[in-house]
Amino acid sequence: MFDEINEIQVDPDGYQHRWIDGSAMNMPVGKVVCVGRNYADHAKELGNETPDAPILFMKPATALTSLHEPLVLPEGQGPVHHEVEMVVLIGKRIRKETRLDHVRFSVAAYGIGLDLTLREVQNQLKEKGHPWERAKAFDGAAPVSGFIDARGISVRQDLGVTLELNDAVKQHGHTGQMLFPTFELLSEISQTFTLEPGDVVFTGTPAGVGPLNSGDKFTARLGNIIQVFGSVA
């Protein structure tokens, strides 16, 4: 479907988008657009108001890394929190698009990922009214799974979004609980940021966020479609 994207220059030692079977996708690596407080229970647990419009922030391509490799956490900057999320890989440009059927057919694939957050750093920045990038956009802050072709998935289903940490369920929600559903969300994003092939959108996290530590083992799941067994270095 998206094989027309040709001659992509790939860093053999860097991140590249992959299918869930591990094979490389012929797709550039773009920016990461994230959505804050898209689950009401998560907004509540952090003492935040429920938004009436999507809260958007971005991470650079250098934040992307493979969820299938041991996670390397920043040192000396306080706790790093996990935020498990369904992620959307863009296959065709979406710019100021309001037709949801066009948005739907611009999605290449779906995956699961972690929006890693330096929580103390974020809180300090928020108190000062400063941007969040130091807490959200560091190298490796957006580990993602391999992707499943969008043609085989209906995200109108109520897909589970789950993180188990050391055999205990820490986060569990469903995409049907998102305040801003997938295609409406992508349409809204495209009014401000043009979404290009290879961009990734993190769609928000359910309640239960908390710290990761060296040696932790985790399982991230998107319904019964994707299951990743991972670890923290």
Domain boundaries, the chain: 32-231
Residues 29, 18: Cα–Cα separation, whole Å: 11
Within 8 A by CB and 6+ apart from 118, the residues are 74, 77, 78, 79, 80, 81, 134, 135, 136, 138
What per-residue confidence (pLDDT) applies to 44? 76
Tokens found for residue 30: 């773009």
The DSSP line for 118-186 is EHHHHHHHHHHT--SHHHH-STT-EEE--BEEGGG--TTS--EEEEEETTEEEEEEEGGG-SS-HHHHH
Query: What local confidence, expressed as pLDDT, does residue 6 receive?
Result: 45
CA distances from 112 to 40, 138, 172 (A): 20, 19, 13
Q: Note the pTM of the prediction, 2 decimals.
A: 0.93
Which of these ranges, 32-46, 68-82, 179-193, has the smallest mean pLDDT? 32-46
CATH number of 32-231: 3.90.850.10
Residue 79, pLDDT > 70, answer yes
Name the pLDDT band for 51 (thresholds 50, 70, 90). confident
pLDDT in tens, 139-162: 999 999 999 999 888 766 789 999
Weakest mean pLDDT among 43-47, 102-106, 199-203, 208-212 = 43-47
Reported as a single tens digit per residue, the pLDDT across 93-139 is: 999 999 999 999 999 999 999 999 999 999 999 999 999 899 999 99
Per-residue CA distances from 109 to 60, 147, 149, 164, 168 (Å): 20, 6, 4, 23, 28
Question: Considering the chain, what percentage of its residues have pLDDT values greater than 70?
Answer: 93
